[in-house]
Amino acid sequence: MMLELDFTQTLGSHCLQIRETLPASGITAVFGVSGAGKTSFINAISGLTRPRGGADRAQWPGAERHRAAYLPRRRSSAVSAMSFRMRACFPHYKVRGNLQYGMAKSMVSQFDKLVDLLGIAPLLDRLPGRLSGGEKQRVAIGRALLTAPELLLLDEPLASLDIPRKRELLPYLQRLAQEIHIPMLYVSHSLDEIQHLADRVLVLEAGKVKAFGPLEEVWSSSVMHPPAAGGAAEYYP
C-alpha cells in the first residue's frame, strides 16, 4: 500500500506544498533545517491544522480515512497540551495501567511482545514519576502503538533528551522498525538519528519537497552535499 500526500498549508507568510506518494511501510524521515516546514507537515497530516488545498488529508487509496497516532515533541506549549491530552502518562496509574488505557482489542495479544521490544517490562509496576526521560518516551511510544494506529507520527521524539538518553532510546526505535509493521514518519533535524533509523528520507526546504528517496540515494545526493562558495562540497547543516 501507499500513503498519498496532497495538500497545501499556508501559515502566515509561509506556504507548505506537498504532493508525494510514500510507501506505507518502514520509517520515512522528514528532514530539513529550522523553518523548512517539518512541524507544519506533521501538523497537517495529524489534523492539528487544516490544509487549504489538495486532497486535504493523507490517505491510502481506497480508504475513507486513516488513524494516525501522534507523538508530539514536548518543547512547544501548544503541542505539549496535545501531548498531555493524547499521550502523557496518568500520574496515578502505574506504567501497566497507562499502557492498557486506550489499548485496542486487536493489540491485547501483542502487549507482551511490544513491552519486550521496548524493554519496559521492568517498569510495569512503577509510577510515571519514577521514570527517566528516556523511559517515559518508551512508554509513550508503547501507548501510541497499542492504539493500533495505521500510521505513527514522531515529531522529534528525542529532542528533549540529553545525549545519554538519546543513545539509550535509539536501539529500541531500531528494533521497532524491524519488528512492527506500522509505517512511521519520523521528523528530525539530526542527521545521526536519520542515518541510524530511516529507510527513506524526505527533505523539505522552504515548504517544498527538495528530495525524496531511499536513504542511501538521498544521503549521497547534491541536496545533502550542496557546493560551497569555493566550489568544494559542503555537508548539509
Q: What is the pLDDT of residues 223-234, one digit of tens each?
A: 887 655 444 344
In the numeric block, which cell numbers belong to residue 122?
A: 521492568
CATH number of 2-219: 3.40.50.300
Question: What is d(CA 115, CA 51) in angstroms, rounded to the nearest whole number?
Answer: 36
Q: What is the pLDDT of residues 175-189, one digit of tens each?
A: 888 888 888 889 988
Alpha carbon separation from 86 to 68, 69, 70, 124 (Å, rounded): 12, 9, 8, 20
Q: What is the pLDDT of residue 147?
A: 86
Q: What is the pLDDT of residue 211?
A: 94
In the numeric block, which cell numbers belong to residue 106?
A: 486487536
Annotated domain spans of the chain: 2-219
Residue with cell 533535524: 189
pLDDT tier at 89, thresholds 50, 70, 90: confident
- H helix runs in the chain, sequence order: 38-46, 77-86, 95-100, 111-118, 133-145, 163-179, 191-197, 215-219
Q: What is the pLDDT of residues 119-172, one digit of tens each?
A: 999 999 999 999 998 898 889 889 988 988 878 888 888 887 888 888 888 888
Question: What is d(CA 139, CA 124) in angstroms, rounded to the nearest whole number?
Answer: 9
